[in-house]
Structure 1
């Protein structure tokens, strides 16, 4: 079984959505310029919300 198969077998979209919502209040404080930069890099909105709250501007370098 590949890593992708393991991930897909274990992934639960509802759990991910709940995790993302934990960052909703924090995300309101993120600089809109960073959000726009992430969007231009093609980072999906949910991943952007988590990464920018956890890593700040460094998330854009890391990705």
Structure 2
């Protein structure tokens, strides 16, 4: 019985250690990601970046919209 108890205690220590290890690693990783990506998002985008994400409507749709009656 005593051997089982010590094995269970060692297993419990291992589980707790790995839980802290995994949670700590994830926390450090997400804080690193937040630090690197929020700085990038705070920068003002360059005109080329703005052009890449700007909306360009279809010319055919614009023609249709301009020719409709506005009454």
Higher helix proportion: 2
- Do they fold alike, i.e. is TM over 0.5? no
Larger radius of gyration: 2
Shorter-chain TM range is under 0.3
TM-score if structure 2 supplies the norm length?
A: 0.25
TM-score norm. by structure 1 comes to 0.27
